[in-house]
Structure 1
Amino acid sequence: MATEYGQDYGFGGGPGLSADGGSRRHRLPAGLRAPFEARSLREFGYVLLGLPIGITLFVYAVTMMALGAGLLVTFVGVPVLAAGLAGCRGFGALERARARGLLGLDVASPEPLRVPKAGAMAWMGAVLKSGASWRSLLYGVLYLPWSVFSFCVALTFWTVGWTTLTYPLWFWVFPTYVGQGGIQLYGDETHRIYLDNPFEITVTALVGLLITLVTPWIVRALTTVDRVMVYGLLGPSRLATRVVELESDRGVVVDTAAADLRRIERDLHDGAQARLVSLAMDLGLAKEKLREDPQAAARMVDEAHGEVKTALQELRDLARGIHPAVLTDRGLDAALSSVASRCTVPVRVEVDLSERPASAIEGIAYFTVSELLQNVSKHARATAAAVEVWRAENRLMLLVVDNGVGGADASAGSGLAGLAERLDAVDGILVVDSPVGGPTRITAELPWRTEPVRR
């Protein structure tokens, strides 16, 4: 749909150039660079370290759990189990640090222990009831077989690849047999085949080159499983992550509501309230002059009448800013058309919705488009803009396009950042595509919700 707008309004961009002025095409392809990249060496080192660490984790976890389970008939078993789980959590912290340093995987710490009161018994109970503790134990048990497999695969491919690639440099060290030397490929006592002539040596080196180029990608696939295990077993649970997100969203909603209330209070105090106070004073003066100078009083009443009209208009604008009546009565299509008519550039509005979303989502969509069109009027220096609204499965999609100068950035602490926070508070997303020189395409996604049926 953004392409359609580009065709309608001439929102075109120049040919794509890399940041280094096109020199990127002269660099080696990624497949040839992979064996020598620092990332590949770090990932290979991660796999090699995995075997001794996996053995240590497995021995510790199994020993402590078996010892604790065996001692459960006595009081000693509970402290041993708690100590074993606490040690597994400690190993989990070390594994997250190793993944962060070698794989670049930044995994947040799991939810902390919730100890209701001081004391050893309360601490042991918290450790035993913690899901993160048992996930760390499961990681220690499962990581050993995987580390053995990944260690063997990675080391085999790496060794075979570099050995055969450098074969032309060292094949001569093998002793000759009836004038032949090099690696014996196959054969028996009466008939032996050696890799010793130039053609065979070249083919061996080429096979080694192929294996060497493939090895980093195999290691990368192996470390992908490691990433999943670290993220899934040593990070916070989905429930805890969701709770943190909801707490953050609640804070954003509270702050946004407080800011809106302050804005409404300021607008009332500085606008309509001040105008009404002035109106009351003018009417009081007119009342005093009514008998002495009826004409002056009539002029003052006429001026007061104008002030009343202005105050009413300000109150209407304030009410429209809170929740426009046209949105409630006629929906997004009419409300967005009204907003577009107040924009300083021509705006094309298309709303393709078979039904209306929930009023809360509808209100957020309205204010999102209103804010974006205000940015177009104030900052874009555009000559045309377009707004499109449609539903994609369980998401309400908003697209605002303009052919202005571009350069909008939601991460720069601008109004777009606040708008992104508001959308995030309701599980929405704001995506800004605004290269310098334009065009600007801003896409907003909101969850599709409908009003509950009341009986």
Structure 2
Amino acid sequence: MKDEHMAMSYQAEQPFKRLPLVLRAPLTARTWREFLYLQLNFPIALAAFIYSITMVAVGAGLLITFVGLPILAATLYGARLFGALERGRARLLLGLEVEAPRPVRADNRRGGVTGWTLSLFKSDTTWRHLLYMLVHFPWAVCTFVISLPLWLVGWAALLYPAYQWMYPTFWGQPGWSLISTPSHRIYLDTPFEIAVTCGVGLCVVLAAPWIMHAMTQVDRLLVKSLLGPSRLAARVTELEQDRGVVVDTAAADLRRIERDLHDGAQARLVSLAMGLGLAKEKVLEDPDAAAKMVDEAHGEVKLALQELRDLARGIHPAVLTDRGLDAALSAVAARCTVPVTVDVDLDERPAPAIEGIAYFTVSELLQNISKHSHARTARVEVWRSGSRLMLQVWDDGRGGASTDQGSGLAGLAERLGSVDGLLVVDSPEGGPTTVTAELPWRGRR
């Protein structure tokens, strides 16, 4: 029964959705939520305006007695509470998500209530909340006096043919009174006048949702600009997140280097030291055996040196430092199991840090191609576009790559984001895959 009811509801919705948006706009949930938002604007803004004007006037007047300071602090704190209410109302009725600003914290130099009050007064976010309470009131009055009559009169005129008969039956007049003076009255009672009234009402009802939507756009702008975190605060939060990514990445790299040294070169050097110790003991009594052990130790030294070179290349390859991205990426492409074409078009070299991130980004993408793509060919392109360093890695493999949480590309995207970079993956099932990376161009000093 439940499935049948859902199917019937779905079928009933389909004809409505086939109507042009201009015809169904008056009946959509968005229009009615925006209408409710505009009607709530006036009482809420009136209460906020009276509160802010009264409290600021009383607090400023009593500043000379030092009683005004806590009153002004309470006013500002109330403004922040009101801002939380308005953000919630905008989220519920307008679908507008505005991040809450950071809470006020006590001044580091002065703790307790005094430090908290000083921080409250120094917070630009708090003063923007108070400004919202002041400037929103006249706009709320404007939206209320426009939206309510527009909506009610439009529907009343549109539905006039349905209730026109009530005028002569219950109120003793032929119809809706258009003009009423002691000497002259005009009623809408003929079929033509009723039809014209209905047509005018239809036009108003169809236009009203767009007018109200335009008015709520102004409300959205006010809420976002005055009740959200400032650009500086948002930037600080973003940088803190990026710093966390950088710290985690650096710690992971250190753990990888430690593991590689412990399991690779260090183990070989320990084995080499033991072998040379045994050879030292046998050099007099069994020179042939000692020579064989020294020869084995020589081989171990070569392997240890090769592992150390590979490890150093993984930290920062010498070819990148000496010859730049073109030579370094060509070397990486030569080690890839898929034929790779490299095209680097740069007039100058970026900063070493950006160059290193670009190198390791391409290196990791080519490793993914070797391991997972089943591609026949691949291509790497590097160029500069204004203030951005652009990287693009393409392959004709099976596709399906994504930056979902837990994948290698997700970690790569986080690493690029830590330096204001960007990673975009276009990889439909069946391929091909195109990964585009952007990095800020920071010239060498």
TM-score range, shorter chain: 0.7 to 0.9
* Equivalent position amino acid for 1:379 in 2: H
Aligned twin of 2:205: 212
What residue in structure 2 maps to residue 54 of structure 1? Answer: 45
Deviation sequence 1:39-93 (CA, Å, 0-9, x none): 3322221111111111111111111111212222322222222222221121111
1:154 maps to which residue? 147
In the alignment, structure 1 residue 434 sits paired with structure 2 residue 420: no
Higher alpha-carbon deviation: 28-37 or 320-329: 28-37
1:3-152 matches, cutoff 5 A: 27-116=18-107, 117-152=110-145
Q: Which residue of 1 aligns with 2:11?
A: none
CA offsets 1:166-206 (integer angstroms, 9 cap, x no match): 34433455559xxx9766779998997958446x7666555
Among 297, 315, 334, the alignment partner of 1:322 is 315
Do structure 1's residue 226 and structure 2's residue 237 form an aligned pair?
no
* 1:372 maps to 2:365: yes
Residue 244 (structure 1) aligned to one of 225, 237, 243: 237
Provide the rounded CA distance (Å) in 1 between the counterparts of 2:93 and 2:348. Answer: 51
CA contact (8 A) 1:185 1:195 kept: no
What is the alpha-carbon distance in structure 2 between the residues aligned to residue 345 and residue 152 of structure 1?
69
Which of 347, 352, 361 is equivalent to 2:345? 352
User: What TM-score, normalized to structure 2?
Assistant: 0.85
3-state SS of 2:65 partner: coil
> CA, structure 1 residues 331+51, in 2 after alignment: closer, same or farther (shift >3 Å)?
same
RMSD of aligned residue pairs (Cα, Å): 3.1
Gaps of 5+ in 2: 1-13
CA deviation after TM superposition for structure 1 residue 402, in Å: 2.3
2:264 partner SS: helix
**Larger RCO, structure (CA 8 Å, separation 6 or more):** 1
TM-score when scaled to structure 1? Answer: 0.84
State the distance in 1 between where 2:330 and 2:432 align.
22
Q: Summarize the alignment of residues 328-407 of structure 1 with structure 2, pairs less than 5 Å apart.
A: 328-407=321-400
**Which of 258, 264, 271 is matched with 2:264 structurally?**
271
**SS at 1:413 equivalent:** coil
Q: How many residue pairs are counted as aligned between the two chains?
A: 426
Residue 314 of structure 1, CA deviation? 1.2
User: Would the alpha carbon gap of residues 408 and 162 (structure 1) be closer, same or farther in structure 2, given more than 3 Å must change?
Assistant: farther
2:443 maps to 1:450 = yes
Partners of 2:114 and 2:81 in 1: how far apart? 20
State how far apart, in whole Å, the 1-side matches of 2:23 and 2:81 are: 39
Which amino acid letter does the alignment assign opposite residue 382 of structure 2? V
- The offset of 1:272, in angstroms, is 1.1
Q: Distance in 1 between matches of 2:197 and 2:92?
A: 36
Match of 2:10 in 1: none
Match for 2:29: what amino acid? Answer: A
**Distance across 1 between alignment mates of 2:410 and 2:217:** 33
Unaligned stretches of 5+ residues in structure 1: 1-22
Q: CA deviation at 1:294?
A: 4.6
Conservation of the 8 A alpha-carbon contact between 1:423 and 1:446:
yes
Deviation at 1:336, TM superposition (A): 1.4
Q: Distance in 2 between matches of 1:423 and 1:307?
A: 38
**3-state SS of paired residue (1:431):** strand
Where 2:429 maps in the other structure, the secondary structure is coil
Deviation at 1:344, TM superposition (A): 2.0
- Would the aligned equivalents of 2:178 and 2:185 in 1 still touch at CA under 8 Å? no
Measured after TM superposition, the shift of residue 342 of structure 1 is: 1.7
Is the alpha carbon distance of 1:242 and 1:313 closer, same or farther for their aligned partners in structure 2, counting shifts above 3 Å?
A: same
Q: What is the CA deviation profile of residues 4-43 of structure 1, one whole-angstrom value per residue up to 9, with x for unaligned ones? A: xxxxxxxxxxxxxxxxxxx99x844544443333233222
- Matched position secondary structure for 1:387: strand
Deviation at 1:302, TM superposition (A): 3.5
Tell whether the 8 Å contact from 2:177 to 2:185 is kept in structure 1 after alignment. no
In 2, the alpha carbon distance for the partners of 1:380 and 1:161 equals 61
Q: Which amino acid aligns with 1:93?
A: A
SS of corresponding position for 1:105: coil
Amino acid in the other structure paired with 1:92 = G
Is 2:158–2:202's contact at 8 Å kept on the other side of the alignment?
A: yes
Question: What aligned pairs does 1:266-305 form with structure 2 within 5 A after superposition?
Answer: 266-305=259-298
Evaluate the alpha carbon distance shift between residue 275 and residue 91 of structure 1 in structure 2; reply closer, same or farther with a 3 A threshold.
same
Q: CA offsets per residue over residues 143-178 of structure 1, 9 Å max, x none? A: 0111122223333443344334334433455559xx
Give distance in 1, aligned partners of 2:308 and 2:349: 27
